[in-house]
Structure 1
Amino acid sequence: MERPHPSRYLQAFRWYRRSRLWVVPSVGAAAALVLAAVTLTVDNVVITNGAPFPFFNGQPDTARTILSLIATSIATLTALVLTVVAVVIQLATQALSPRAVRTFLQDAHSHLTLGTFVTTFTYALVILQQFALTYDDFEANSVTSVSVSVAFVLAVLSLGMFISYVDHILHEARVTSIINRIGDETRQEILQGYRDATEAPAAVHAEVPDRDADDVVLAPHNGVVLEIDVGKLLETAERSDVLVVMVPAVGDFIPTDGRLFEVYGDHRVDRDRLLDTVVIDAERSITQDVPFGFRLLIDIAARSLSPSVNDPTTATQVVDELHDLLRLLGSRSFPTGWHADTGGTPRLCVPQPTWDLYVALAFEEIRHDARDSLQVVRRLQAALEDLLAYLPEDRHPPLRRQRRLLDETVAGSFALEAEQQAARHADRQGIGSGGGFSSDGEDVAGGDGQRVATPAVEATEPVVAPSPADTEKAPP
């Protein structure tokens, strides 16, 4: 999963910008101060030389009223947006998963909306405070102000951002949008970290020496391994002429003073440089961590299948997304985790998730939680059948294992033979296009949703009961 890696400071700022709501508004407040200084300077030029083109032209009291109204309105909108964000996060935590909160905190639209509001509010306050100083010596009944005109434009822009944000949050707060967003982020990481089988370079294979490491680099603090700069790690190992083996994988928790790197070789290695290549944080992220994308989706499915929620349709939508991700993963080349230098000597080993792990991650927990849900079980059947038909033979063993376990789950969870027969039908809708519910003598649908003819029942002459009149006329 080697890719260009930013510097540590730039990376830290990027994480703060994405996960902290105050970063973009702070930048907006600073920009408002600069903009206010520029427009006030232009106002002084306009007062001296006259306006070269039309701006706000009215009484000073009117200008102050407009600025006060803008500041008050924007403060109200800002409080309303923050309230909406808090409510959406709370509902998402209760209904979906606590891990889904991060998707809202990293929402660029929320950051941009709050940034626009803070920019407008700060600008209006500064202009209002400086208005008397700027026009104090201007004795005319009307003033021409660039600053008020810009404040008016920012107010209209903020109103547009508010309407856009309401529309955005109403759509993005839906469970379908959250599932699709997580799936898209995971899919992007797959495309970056797993190359197509026809384009993948020759894999590097080696073995970790069967002896104690010559040196061990410990973690400075506890947390989750968030990102690894593979290029810098490989360069450090090659420069020191050693073999570096990373103990935890991306996404693993490591305690304080836990074994982070094992170094094999007689030369000394720059420990600080090794530590600079790893980011340890309190919470996992999908970046460089494709299994975490699976985990987010599985958590949503597990919550929807809990007795308190009981929403198997949401779990079916999660299986739809996992199905597509497995199709993409299974058709690509998996890295071995070994990296060689320019001379072909193995210098670095980083643990990598395997195909078996991804299949188990996608099916094990959902199959267990959905053992009583006919809809989800049938959707799992359809996913396994499609993956077995689409992916190459070397990807089949873990899929066959999951299909066998699913059959055993059906046999143990459904007491009636008819229910077991229906549960073993593959259905892309869960219950919709797969069939398996027909009565004896009627048409049934196969796993692909096509109708299957059944033997026709021979028509018989209907039996008619004799009427009372016929019974009286009958001879004794």
Structure 2
Amino acid sequence: MTSRWRWLMRLLLRRIWFRAALFSLSSVVLALLAAFVAPFIPYELSTKIGSDAVDNILGILASSMLAVTTFSLTAMVSAFSAASGTITPRATQLLVEDSTAQNALSTFIGAFLFAIVGICALSTGIYGTSGRVILYAGTILVIAIIVITLLRWIGHLSSFGRVGNTIDRVEKVTHAAIERSGYRVAVAPAGIPPRRGRRPVFTDKIGYSTHIDLIALDKVAARLGCTIDLSIAPGAFVTPNREIAWLDGGNAANDVEIRDAFTFNHHRQFDHDPRLGLVVLSEIASRALSPAVNDPGTSIAVLGSGVRVMAALLDQARTGAKDGKRVRLPEIAIEDLLDDLFRPIARDGAGIVEVAIKLQRSLAEIAGMVPSAYGPLAMRAADALARCQASMTFEADLECVRTVYRAHWTDPKP
């Protein structure tokens, strides 16, 4: 199975309709299974369960599960709207794919269908006395699943869609994207592979690169006996006049196979695009710094997450990218990563002393972990200080920022 199919399967499993359909189908099968297993149930056991016991329980389930499903759907939509309005619209993608919320909604819909199918089947008389025993056991099992799911869902609602929880989600998915993507981070100026004697491959699509099938590209390169240098990484916006790869073999007929290894979409996705995670973190911080929200604490929390993400990205730069055997990934300049995360926060938090100090210290912490990135980080620290000097009106606050800056950026570093 190629990496694209694994990625598509992962996307399918995260779709709420898929999980709801799977739970619903399982519930219908469970409800109808009783009619086929009934002949194997001893008659003595069948007589111990009242004939009306299952009917009453299924009636309660059918009426209550519809109300619980409606409540859960309302809670989810409210969380999506709140995240879009007060955090950032890009974060709603993570809330929609939340497994606990999907399991809760799917379980309640499945239980409702189980009860409806069971009631309909009972009215036709297909179960008989023995079949009611199986249906009764299945009903007890469904009730146990509902109780466990409901308890988890109630506990989950206390943090679902909240700012802190969303920041943690973005950080987690960005770390996962770093592991999957194999980003090449160029701490020094990125080198451009020699292109003389090589030919470019263009795409006929317009959109964002969301996935690159390195396994498929490796097979093409091995068959052609050449190497392929990619010009774009996941998250790049491409047009028909931008090359997506360079290679030193094959002909135009092979370009179709190379183009087919790239997946493009109208919107960026988190799976293989760590830069999207950095952008979303900075958007959360910028929204928190707006006059309408005025929440510097959220921006400070974002900076803490940003330091951890940048440390992971730069650590991968030291350990090496996950190239294919014959496929080389492009280098991403560290300047671009720093601008994705820190520039919006430096701009919007320039007038707030707490945010400005935390920003200077965050940049210094990254420089301490990766001394080779000192130059670009020092430039961003100087830029942030200049913004503070233009925005802060209270001299004492500005002097505090200057003191922190001098403590970390005046001494020469290796």
Equivalent position SS for 1:207: coil
User: What SS is found at the alignment partner of 2:332?
Assistant: coil
What is residue 408 of structure 1 aligned with on the other side?
386
Please, what is the CA RMSD of the aligned residues? 3.2
What residue identity is the alignment partner of 2:107?
T
Distance 1:89 1:241, change over 3 A: same
The match for 2:347 is: 368
Q: Deviations over 1:183-232 (max 9, x none)?
A: 122223334555999xxxxxxx8723146x6463423x433111112232
Q: Which residue of 2 aligns with 1:40?
A: 35
In the alignment, which of 153, 158, 163 is matched to residue 170 of structure 1? 158
Q: Tell me the amino acid that sits aligned with residue 313 of structure 2.
A: L
**1:124-170 Cα distance to aligned partner (Å, 9 max, x none):** 112211113336876xxx99522023113313421331231121122
Judging changes above 3 Å, is the alpha-carbon distance between structure 1 residues 163 and 357 closer, same or farther for their aligned structure 2 residues?
Answer: same
Structure 1 residues 420 and 13: CA distance shift in structure 2, 3 A: same
Q: 1:246 to 1:177 in 2, by over 3 A?
A: same
Of residues 69, 79, 101 in structure 2, which corresponds to 1:110? Answer: 101
Q: Distance in 1 between matches of 2:195 and 2:48?
A: 77
Equivalent AA in structure 2 for residue 208 of structure 1: P
Counterparts of 1:152-231 in structure 2, within 5 Å, are 152-191=140-179, 193=181, 207-210=193-196, 214=199, 216-219=201-204, 221-231=205-215
Structure 2 residue aligned with 1:252: 236
TM-score by length of 2: 0.86
Which of 12, 28, 31 does residue 16 from structure 1 map onto?
12
Deviations 1:268-287 (A, max 9, x none): 55344323322222322222
Q: CA deviation at 1:22?
A: 0.9
User: Do 1:381 and 1:424's aligned partners in 2 also have CA atoms closer than 8 Å?
Assistant: no
> Equivalent residue for 2:136?
148
Q: Is the 8 A contact 1:224 1:280 kept in 2?
A: yes
Farther off after superposition, 410-419 or 254-263 = 254-263
One-letter amino acid of the counterpart of residue 401, structure 2: A
Structure 2 unaligned spans of 5+: 186-190, 409-414
**Structure 1 counterpart of 2:153, one-letter code:** Y
Shift of 1:42: 2.3
**Could you say which residue in structure 2 is the equivalent of 1:424?**
402
Which of 50, 67, 70 is the equivalent residue of 2:43? 50
Match of 1:377 in 2: 356
Where 2:16 maps in the other structure, the secondary structure is coil
Do 1:237 and 1:269's aligned partners in 2 also have CA atoms closer than 8 Å?
A: no
Change (3 A) 1:65 1:312: same
Judging changes above 3 Å, is the alpha-carbon distance between structure 1 residues 368 and 109 closer, same or farther for their aligned structure 2 residues? same
Q: Which digits, 9 at most, give the CA deviation of each residue in 1:221-262, with x for residues without a partner?
A: 433111112232122123113443434321012246864444
Say which structure, 1 or 2, has more relative contact order (CA 8 Å, 6+ apart).
2
Pairing 1:297–2:281 present? yes
* Structure 2 CA distance for aligned equivalents of residues 257 and 80 of structure 1: 50
Q: 1:7 to 1:224 in 2, by over 3 A?
A: closer
Question: How much has 1:38 moved relative to structure 2?
Answer: 2.0
Name the TM-score, length of structure 1 as normaliser.
0.76
* Alpha-carbon separation, structure 2, partners of 1:226 and 1:55: 60
Residue 358 of structure 1 deviates from its aligned partner by 1.8
Q: CA deviation at 1:361?
A: 2.2
In the TM superposition, 1:440-459 aligns within 5 A as: none
**Percentage identity across paired residues of the two chains:** 20
Deviations 1:93-150 (A, max 9, x none): 0000000101111101112112212222222112211113336876xxx995220231
What amino acid is aligned across from residue 3 of structure 2 in structure 1? P
Query: Which of residues 6, 11, 25 is equivalent to 2:3?
Result: 6
- Structure richer in helix, relative to its length: 2
Provide structure 1 residue ranges, at least 5 long, that are not aligned to the other structure.
Answer: 198-204, 342-346, 428-445, 448-476
Is contact 1:234–1:348 with CA below 8 Å preserved after alignment? yes
- Residue by residue over 1:281-324, the C-alpha shift from the partner in whole angstroms, topping out at 9 and shown as x without a partner, is 23222222111111110110111111221111111110111122
Q: Deviations over 1:404-429 (max 9, x none)?
A: 112222222223432211223449xx
After superposing the two structures, state which structure 1 stretch, 231-240 or 67-76, moved more.
231-240
- SS at the partner of 1:153? helix
Q: CA deviation at 1:56?
A: 7.1
CA distance in 1, matches of 2:252, 2:143: 61
Deviations 1:78-101 (A, max 9, x none): 111111100000001000000010
Does residue 308 of the first structure (1) align with residue 292 of the second (2)? Answer: yes
Code of the residue aligned with 1:29 in structure 2: it is: S
Aligned residue number for residue 387 of structure 1: 366
Distance in 1, matches of 2:126 and 2:233, equals 64
Structure 1 distance, partners of 2:307, 2:3, is 33
**Distance change >3 Å, CA 266–CA 50, structure 1 → 2:** closer
Contact 2:285 2:302 in 1 (8 A): yes
* Code of the aligned partner of 2:86: A
Matching residue's letter, 1:283: H
Residues 43 and 147, structure 1, Cα contact 8 Å, conserved in 2: no
Evaluate the alpha carbon distance shift between residue 363 and residue 55 of structure 1 in structure 2; reply closer, same or farther with a 3 A threshold.
Answer: farther
CA distance in 2, matches of 1:218, 1:356: 27
- Residues 1:11 and 1:363: Cα distance change in structure 2 (over 3 Å): closer
Counterpart check, 1:85 vs 2:76: yes
